[in-house]
Amino acid sequence: MDRAALQMPGRVIGLVWVDTYRSLGGTEPKDAKENFVAPFRSDLVATTRDFVRGMFRSGSAADLVEWVANDMSAAPPEVALDAMKYSIGNEHAVIVG
């Protein structure tokens, strides 16, 4: 996203995390994943909002930033934390059902 934003100033307003990136490398060590996820476990709403706001460039439309931050922080904790674990850990999720 940063590269695209630099090449197309004014056209990239944010980054939305929609998929995992299995082909970018190996899995993260368990302690690294837990260290990343720990603040989200402690206060999912506030940590998610801060994290999301950090994904936007300075000067992004404030209403858009807050809409995304509020929407993502409203996810059920069990869903959000599980998705995050697999996304940041570069792991396959096991789907049961």
Q: What are the phi and psi torsion angles at 25 (to 5°)?
A: 160, -170
Over the stretch 21-77, which tens digit does the pLDDT of each residue have? 555 666 667 788 888 889 999 999 999 999 999 988 888 899 999 999 999 999 899
Amino acid 10: pLDDT:
78
Asked if residue 76 belongs to a domain, the reply is yes
More confident residue, 57 or 11: 57
Asked if residue 28 belongs to a domain, the reply is yes
Over the stretch 73-92, which tens digit does the pLDDT of each residue have? 998 998 888 878 777 766 65
Asked if residue 97 belongs to a domain, the reply is no
Asked if residue 66 belongs to a domain, the reply is yes
Asked if residue 96 belongs to a domain, the reply is no
Asked if residue 43 belongs to a domain, the reply is yes
For the chain, the 3-state helix, strand and coil shares in percent, each to the nearest 5, are 60, 0, 40
Q: pTM value?
A: 0.63
Number of compact structural domains in the chain: 1
Asked if residue 34 belongs to a domain, the reply is yes
Amino acid 1: pLDDT:
46
Asked if residue 95 belongs to a domain, the reply is no
What's the CA gap between 57 and 65, in Å, rounded? 10
Domain that holds residue 13: 2-89
